[in-house]
Chains A and B, each alone.
Chain A
Amino acid sequence: MSEKFRLDKGGLINRNKKLSFKFNGKKYSGFEGDTLASALIANGVHLVGRSFKYHRPRGFFGAGVDEPYAIVQMNRNNEVDPNVRATEQELFEGLEAKSVNCWPNVDFDIGAINNFLGKFFPAGFYYKTFMWPKSFWYKVYEPIIRKAAGFGEASIKHDKEKYEHKYEYCDLLITGSGPSGLASAYAAAQNGAKVILAEDKSRFGGSLLTSEVTIGNQSGKEWAEKIISELKLMPNVIVKNRSQVFGYYDHNMLVMSERVSDHLPKTEKYIPKQRLWYIRAKEVIISSGSIERPLVFGNNDTPGVMLSSAAKEYLKIYGVLVGKKPLVFTNNDSGYETAIEFKKNGIDPIVLDTRKSPNSEIIKEAKDLNINIKFSYVVVAAKGYKKVKSADIAKISDDKKNVSNIENIGCDCICVSGFWTPTIHLASQSGNKTKFKDEIDAFIPSQSKQKETTLGSANGIFTLEETLKTSFEKGSELSKQITNKENKIAVPTVVEKKSSNHDKFWCVPLPEGKNYKRFLDFQNDVAVSDIQLALREGYRSIEHVKRYTTLGMATDQGRTSNLNGLQLVSDIENKVVPQVGHTTFRPPYSPVSIGAIVGREIGKHSKPTRKSPMHYWHEKNNAVFVDAGVWLRPRYYKQGNENLFEASKREAKNVRQNVGVCDVTTLGKIDIKGPDSAEFLNRVYTNAWLKLPVGKARYGVMLREDGIVMDDGTTTRISENHYHMTTTTAQAANVLSHLEYYLQLVWPELNVNVVSSTEQWAGAAIAGPKSRDVLQKLFPDLDLSNEGLPFMGYMEGNLFGVNAKIYRISFSGELAYEVNVESDNGNYMWEKIMEIGKDFNIQPYGTEALSTLRIEMGHVAGSELDGRTIPYDNSLDGLVSKKKDFIGKRSLSKAAYVASDRQKIVGVIPLDKKTSIPEGSYIVKDAKAKLPNPKLGHISASCWSVEYDNPFSLAIIKDGRNMIGQKLFAMSPLKNKTIPVQIVSSHYVDPKGERVRS
C-alpha cells in the first residue's frame, strides 16, 4: 500500500531511508523519523483500537504523550511491550505492533455491542450493575469484563531486555526543550551552571518546530537548532532527548526515564532498552509546555477528530495529511495555524470559529489566503463510524446556549482547538499550590514548595516574546545564585502572528431531540452524561466524581480531559472552577516500564545474594540451598534420590551418633572493644557479664525496651577489653544498630567500640560425640580434653598453618565446637575438616538437620524469638538477672508478663507418634468446640526427632507450665488437619544438658 497521505516534500523525516513495518499483521512503509502514528496516518490507517468501555472505534487524537487512543502492543526482540503510544513510538525497520482492547479484531469487535447497550454502562457501572447475585461476579461478569476491557497484554515471560540506573547531580534541571527550556538552559549555561536539559521527544525545540515565528533573523526552528548545537558543545551541559522527567520527589529529587533503544531494531550489541536517571537538582525549571484542549461535541471520539496542533505536527514534522477535506473547529487563533498549513499544502480547509468577530494578524492572513472561515459556528456532531465522513455544523447563539441552521457538510477530519492547558504535573507533584487562571481557563503553578520554577506556556504564558524574555531572565537569575557569574544575554526580537486570546467556550449544546454522546475522557469513555448522572446521584467532591466516573483516571492522567470535566462540574454546580478544585497529580507523569524501575537488579532479590566462602564446596557436593535473609545456606546435601526429609534425618542422626559439620559463616559477628565492654554487655544482656573470665564464652539474651526478646547468641571474652559477639543470621544488622544506638546516644560515657566482623570470619560448627576426636587431629598441639577446653571455653590454634579460633559452644546439644578462620581460609578449613573427619564418618549437615537438632533439644530460635515473646515464655528464666538492671528489664514486671497463666514453651508429640504437626497449627482443648475455637497457642517449630524416631514439635501455649502431660489437639485449618497431641517438656532430648559438657 502506498503512502497516499504523505506529501511529496516537507517535514523533518529522512526521505532517503524508507522503512517497512507491520501493523495488525499487514505490511506498510514509512520513513526514518516517523512515529508509528505518523507512518500509519501516511498510509491512511486511522482505525487503531477500540475504546475501553463501549469499544467504539479509536483513531489518533494527538501526536505525542497526550495521546489517549492510539495505544498498541509492540513486539520487539521477541519481547512484547504492552500499552505503547503509537504517537511516541518511533518507527524502525521491521517494527511489529498490533491493536489492543479489541476482540476478535479491530474491524469487527464484539465488545462494540456495549455501545448499543450503553444504558447498562452508566457512570459507576462496575459498582451497580454487577452487584447481584454475588456469585455471578466471579464466575460470569468478571471474566467477561476482563476479556473485553483492559489494554495490552503483559508478558508472563522473564523480560530479557536490559535496563540501567544512573545517578546525577546538577545545578539546574530543565524539563522540556521548547522556547522556555532552550532560553533558560542557554542563559544558565552561559553563567557556568551545570545544566541538564531533558526533552521527552526525539527532536529538540518543542513548539518552535511547528510554529511560524521569527526569532532575531531566524525562523523558530533554526533558532532552536542553533541553541541546541551550542548547548551540546558546552562541557557543563547535558542534553538528553527521548528522556522524560516523570516524577518530582522530595528535596528536588527527580526521576527521568531515557528511552535508550526503544526506537531501534534488535542488535547484537549491548544497548540497554531504557535508563532511569535519579537527578538531584539544586533548581528545577519546568518548561513542559502545554497541551491543546479538545472542544466537546457529539461523537467527538470518532476517528478523524483530533487536536488541531496534532494535525499541524503531522504536517510540519512528518509531511503527512491527517485528511484531505479538513474541518478546523476552534475557539482561538491556534486553529488558524493548522488551517494555513493545510492551505499551503494545497488542501482547502473550512474553519469554524466559535467567536463572533475575532481579529488578529493570523486571521487576516487566513482571510488573505481565501480560507473559508465561519464565525459563530460550531460542530454539533461528527458523522461516520470508523472514520469521520461528514459533520453537522450549526450557528451558535451569542449566549452560546442554542444552535441553529444545522447543516451537514462533508469532511474527512475535524481538527479541534479549545485553547491550551499548561502541563503542570511536575509542579503539582513537587507540592506546588496551583491556582486557576481565569484568562486561560486553566490551572498554573503558583506557590512553590520546592526549588522549582515553571516557565513559558506551562506557566500560562502563551506569547513567545514574553516566554523568551522571562525564560532568559529566570535561567540567568537562578544560575547566578549558584555560580555567582553573570553573562548578560540580549533577548532577540520576536515576530508572532497569533494572539493569545480565546473564547471561553468548550462544550457544544445538544440540539433539540438529539442525544449524541459527547466525550470528555477519551481513554476511559467518560461522557458528559456520565458526569451529569454522577452529580444527580449526589456526588459532589471532584475526587469522588473522578473515582465514580473514572474521569481522568486512565493512563493519560486526563491530560486532555481534566479541565473540560472540571468545567462541566462547575457549570452544573454553578460554581467557578477554582472552587471545584482539581485532583492531585501523582508520579509517574506517563507510564514507566517495571524493567526500568528494577534496572539491573533483576532476579529474586533487588539485593546481592550473599554466599559463604565454602559455597562452591557445598554446590559441588549436591547441596540444596535455602534463602536465609540475603544469604544462601545449604538446606541439605542430597545423596542419591533422597528427599529433604530423608536427607535431613540422615544428617541429624549422624550428628547424634558420629560427627557432623555445618557452615555457620552467616551468623552475625560483632567485634567489641574498649575498657567498658563488660559493663556495656552487662546492660545489653539480661544475664550477668561482669565476671566472665578471659577465654570464656557465655550465652546471652538481649531484649528490646518493651521486654520482648530481640536476639540471642554467645559472646566470648577474647582478652581483657576485647569481646566477640555472635548474633542470629537474621538479626545481625539490627543488633549492630541497637548497640550503636545505646553507645552513641544513651551511654556515650562508655568507652566501647563495636564493629561488624560477620564477613571477616568463616565458621564451621563441628558437632557430635566424635567432634573432639576430629578437632584433636585438626589441632594436635592443643589440649582439647574436657579440662583443657571445657564447655563454653575458647582457644586459639593453628590449623595447618592458618590461624583459627575455637569456641566450645553447641546449638545441636551435642559435644560441639565452632571453628572460625579468616574468610579467605574458609574453604581450606572446610576441606581439612572433611578430610580429617572422614575417619570418624563426618558428614556435612544443612539448616534442616540443624533445626531438627535444636528443636528436639528445646533450644529456641527465630520461630520462638518471633518478636512476641519475653524470656520467661522461652523458659529462659535462669538468664534473667534479678540483681542488675538491663535494657528492657523494667518491662518484665508488667502485669501481663508475670500473669500466672502466661504463655510458655512446651514440647508437643502426636498421640499416634506418626503424624507430623504442621508449623503454625493452633493448639486447642476441644477439637469440636464451636467456632471461634479458643486458641491456647501455636506450634512454632516441628521436626522428626532422630533420637526417638517420631515427630516432635515446639509450641508456645497459654499456661504452658501447667499443661505438661495434658492431651490437647493441634489444628491446622490450612492443611485441614486435626491431630490429637500430648504436651511434654520442651527439652525432649538430654534434658539435663550432659552431652554438651561431656
Chain B
Amino acid sequence: MLHIKCPHCGLRSQNEFSYGGDATVKRPELNKEISDQDWDNFVYLRKSPRGKHLELWQHISGCRQWIKVERDTLTHEIFKTLKANEEV
C-alpha cells in the first residue's frame, strides 16, 4: 500500500485516497471551437508511461483535496506531491 504525502495533511496510507488519472491533461476551455480529433484525445487518450508519471489523487477520506503526485509507475516511488494549483 502506497504512502502518500498529502500536501495539506501529511503522510497517509493509500486507502485514504482515490486515483484520478493523468494530471497533465488540461480540459479544453469552455465555449471554444475544438476539432473532433483534439476533443477525442482529451476524452479518451491517455499515455501509460513506464516510469515517472504526474498523476491526480484525491484525499477522499481526508481533506478531500485533489492533489498532484509525481510517481514512478514501475517502482511506485513517489518523488513529489503538490497542491492542485502548484506546478512541478
Residues 1 to 55 of chain B near chain A (Cβ within 8 Å): 1-3, 13, 18, 20, 27-28, 30-31, 34, 36, 39, 42-44
Chain B residues with a Cβ closer than 8 Å to the other chain, count: 27
Inter-chain CA distance A5–B76, complex, in Å, is 54
Contact of A748 among B18, B60, B64, B85 (CB under 8 A): B85
What are 19 A-B contacts defined by CB distance under 8 Å?
A249-B1, A250-B3, A251-B1, A251-B2, A251-B3, A251-B76, A449-B75, A705-B43, A737-B18, A740-B65, A741-B66, A744-B65, A744-B66, A745-B56, A885-B30, A886-B30, A890-B34, A890-B39, A891-B39
- Evaluate whether A885 and B84 lie within 8 angstroms (CB atoms) in the complex, with A251-B2, A253-B3, A741-B20 already known: no
A265 shortest CB reach to chain B, Å = 36
Per-residue B-contact encoding for A870-906, CB less than 8 Å = 1, 0 else: 0000000000000011100011001000000000000
The smallest beta-carbon distance between A746 and chain B, in angstroms, is 5
Q: Is the CB of B76 within 8 A of A745?
A: no
Among residues of B, the one whose C-beta sits closest to the C-beta of A746 is: B27
A741, closest chain B residue (CB) = B66
Residue numbers in A under 8 Å from B65 (CB-CB): 740, 744
Name A280's closest neighbour in chain B (CB-CB).
B3
Residues in chain B near residue A236, CB distance under 8 A: none
Contacts of B75 in A (CB 8 A): 431, 449
CB distance from B3 to the nearest CB of A (A): 4
Residues of B within 8 Å of A658, CB to CB, are none
Q: How far is the CA of A249 from the CA of B65 in the complex (A)?
A: 26
CB pair A740 B1 closer than 8 Å: no
- Bound complex: CA of A745 vs CA of B23, how far in Å? 9
Q: What residues of chain B lie closer than 8 Å to A449, measured between beta carbons?
A: 75
Inter-chain residue pair count (beta carbon < 8 A): 54
Please indicate the chain B residues that have their CB under 8 angstroms from the CB of A885 in the complex.
30-31
| B-chain residues with CB within 8 Å of residue A886 when the two chains form the complex | 30
CA distance A174 to B48 in the complex (A): 37
In the bound complex, what is the Cα–Cα distance between A253 and B75 (angstroms)? 14
**Closest residue on chain A to residue B31 by CB atoms:** A885
Among A250, A737, A740, A890, max chain B CB count under 10 A is at A890
Nearest CB of B to A610, in Å: 16
Q: Cα distance A890–B30 when bound, in Å?
A: 9
Write out the residue numbers on chain A whose beta carbons fall within 8 Å of the beta carbon of B2: 250-251
On whether the beta carbons of A250 and B18 are closer than 8 Å, the reply is no
Contact partner of A737 (CB less than 8 A), chosen from B3, B43, B58, is: B58
Name the 8 nearest CB pairs between A and B, nearest first.
A251-B3, A885-B30, A253-B1, A744-B84, A885-B31, A744-B66, A250-B76, A746-B27
| Residues A748 and B1 in contact in the complex (CB < 8 Å), given A706-B43, A741-B58 | no
Q: Please give 14 more A-B residue pairs, beta carbons under 8 A apart, in addition to A252-B3, A886-B30, A894-B36.
A: A249-B1, A250-B2, A251-B1, A251-B76, A705-B27, A705-B43, A737-B18, A737-B58, A740-B66, A741-B58, A745-B66, A890-B28, A891-B39, A891-B43
User: Is the CB–CB distance between B84 and A683 below 8 Å?
Assistant: no
Structural contact, B64 and A740, CB atoms closer than 8 A: yes
Chain B proximity mask over A746-768: 1 for CB below 8 Å, otherwise 0: 10100000000000000000000
User: CA–CA, A886 to B28, complex, Å?
Assistant: 11
The residue in chain B whose Cβ has the minimal distance to the Cβ of A737 is B58
Least distance between B35 CB and chain A CB atoms (Å): 10
- Which residue on A lies nearest to B68, using beta carbons? A745
CA distance in complex: A431, B27 (Å): 37
Q: Which range contains the number of A residues in contact with the other chain? A: 20 to 34
- Chain A 250-276 against B: per-residue CB contact (8 Å), 1 yes, 0 no? 111100000000000000000000000
Question: Which of chain B's residues have a CB closer than 8 A to the CB of A251?
Answer: 1-3, 76, 78
Shortest CB-to-CB span from B76 to chain A, Å, is: 5
For the complex, give the distance between the alpha carbons of A774 and B80 in Å: 59
Q: With a CB–CB cut-off of 8 A, which chain A residues contact B34?
A: 890
* Set of chain B residues within 8 Å of A740, measured between Cβ atoms: 58, 64-66
CA distance A706 to B39 in the complex (A): 9
The answer for the CA separation of A714 and B9 in the assembled complex, in Å, is 34
Q: For A706, what are the chain B residues with a Cβ–Cβ distance below 8 Å?
A: 43-44
Which chain B residue has the least Cβ–Cβ distance from A706?
B43
Question: How far, in whole Å, are A249 and B15 apart by their CA atoms in the complex?
Answer: 13
Which residues from chain B contact A250 at a C-beta distance below 8 Å?
1-3, 76
CB distance from A484 to the nearest CB of B (A): 20
Taking CB atoms, residues of chain B closer than 8 Å to A884 are: 31
CB closest chain-B residue, reference A889 = B30
CB-defined contacts of B30 to chain A, threshold 8 Å:
683, 885-886
Which B residue's beta carbon lies closest to that of A893? B36
A745 to B13: give the CA distance in the assembly, Å: 23
B residues 58-88 in Cβ contact with A at 8 Å:
58, 60, 64-66, 75-76, 78, 84-85
- Which residues of chain A in 206-225 are interfacial with respect to chain B, using CB atoms and an 8 Å cutoff? none
Within A895-954, which residues are at the interface with B (CB < 8 Å)?
none
Query: In the assembled complex, which residues on chain B have CB atoms less than 8 Å from the CB atom of A280?
Result: 3, 13
Q: Which of A585-640 contact B (CB under 8 A)?
A: none
Instruction: A280 to B84: give the CA distance in the assembly, Å.
Output: 27
Give the distance to chain A from B75, nearest Cβ to Cβ, in Å: 6
* Across-interface contacts of B18 in A (CB, < 8 A): 737
CB neighbours (8 Å) of B20 from chain A are 741
- Whole-angstrom distance from the CB of B57 to the nearest CB of chain A? 11
Enumerate A416-435 residues with CB–CB distance to B below 8 Å.
431
**Contact status B84-A748, CB under 8 Å:** yes
Q: Which of B36, B42, B66, B85 has the most chain A CB within a 10 Å cutoff?
A: B66
- The answer to whether B42 and A705 have CB atoms under 8 Å apart is yes
Chain B residues closer than 8 Å to A278, beta-carbon distance? 1
Complex Cα distance A705/B45, Å? 13
- A449, A744, A745, A891 — which one has the most chain B CB atoms within 10 A of its CB? A745
Query: Complex: how many Å from CA A253 to CA B44?
Result: 34
Q: Which residues of B contact A748 (CB under 8 A)?
A: 84-85
Determine which residue in B13, B43, B58 has the highest number of CB atoms from chain A within 10 A of its CB, and name it: B43
For the complex, what is the distance from the CA of A894 to the CA of B56, rounded to whole Å?
Answer: 28
- For A745, what are the chain B residues with a Cβ–Cβ distance below 8 Å? 56, 66, 84
Residues from chain B with Cβ under 8 Å of A737 in the complex: 18, 58, 60
In the assembly, what is the distance between CA of A253 and CA of B12, in Å? 12
Shortest C-beta distance, A682 to chain B (Å), equals 10
Residues of chain B with a CB closer than 8 A to A431's CB:
75
